[in-house]
Amino acid sequence: DGWPMNELVEHGHNGLLVPANITGAFFESPVWEVSPGDLAGAMARFVGDARLRRRTTCAAPGELAARQHRFVMTARRFLLGETAPRVLSMYAGPHPTYLRAETFRSHALRRHGYEVVDAGYGDAWEALVAEGCDFALVAKAPSLEWVRHLKKHAGVPMYMWFWDPIDYGEERRRWFEAIAPLFDAVFLNEKGREAAWAARGIQMHYIEEGVMVESERGPGRRPLTLPTPASGH
């Protein structure tokens, strides 16, 4: 498989794999096709294997973690009178043909129990900040000047969530290195220049995407048992 699937499929454990052959190309990517007989055989096995069906239809590790986190935050709200953290999530605005990555970021935060307020870079975010928020989350901000303006007037911690500053080329990396030091912390999916970024004063944290979480079977592998919440959380 290819992007954006981030879970390792292990034959017979969390999925069934069938042979595939390249039958053409779509732009620069190969097109893979499986034989109807092989696909039918896998479907028949799935129908007859109750344990396999249970493993492949239960929630993925990332979803289980989100449910646990949301439960803890809900309990604290009811028992301690705490309010859910309010996040100002900044993005470039809706795209006419696809959902931006920031849409899924906001959805994930809501699944974890946060109150998320989405705002475009050109929106009147000052009014949203005045209503109160715990921190602001930004992806590919429009300019250094815009970030400085937000930092000056928001009055809350500012975090940057970004992806692939190396793979996308030198221009993207240079922009990232110029703007990242303005944030209180940066969350990134791609490693490779840790020493250089630390020398620039960038507070870097690395996160895994999708269901790439640790379990007793290793990163990206669906666990055999449900994860246990850490004591005190």
Q: What's the alpha-carbon Rg for the chain, to the nearest Å?
A: 21
Phi, then psi, of 55 in degrees rounded to 5? -65, -35
Q: What is the pLDDT of residues 2-20, one digit of tens each?
A: 444 556 778 887 788 999 8
Structure tokens at 4: 């954006």
Q: What is the pLDDT of residue 18?
A: 92
How far apart are alpha carbons 222 and 14 in whole angstroms? 7
- Cis-peptide into 157, omega within 30 deg: no
Over range 171-194, report the average pLDDT: 83
Structure tokens at 196: 């250089």
Contact indicator for 117, 156 with CB cutoff of 8 Å: no
Question: In this predicted model, which residue has the larger pLDDT, 110 or 223?
Answer: 110
> Is 233's pLDDT higher than 50?
no
How far apart are alpha carbons 22 and 145 in whole angstroms? 48
Across the chain, mean pLDDT equals 78
> Which residue type sits at 75?
A
Whether pTM > 0.75 for this model: the answer is no
Q: What is the pLDDT of residue 229?
A: 45
How far apart are alpha carbons 111 and 46 in whole angstroms? 30
Structure tokens at 145: 């000047």
Q: What is the pLDDT of residue 220?
A: 46
| Bridge-based pairing state of the strands 158-162 and 185-188 | parallel
Contact indicator for 71, 63 with CB cutoff of 8 Å: no
Q: Whose structure tokens read 């959380």?
A: 233
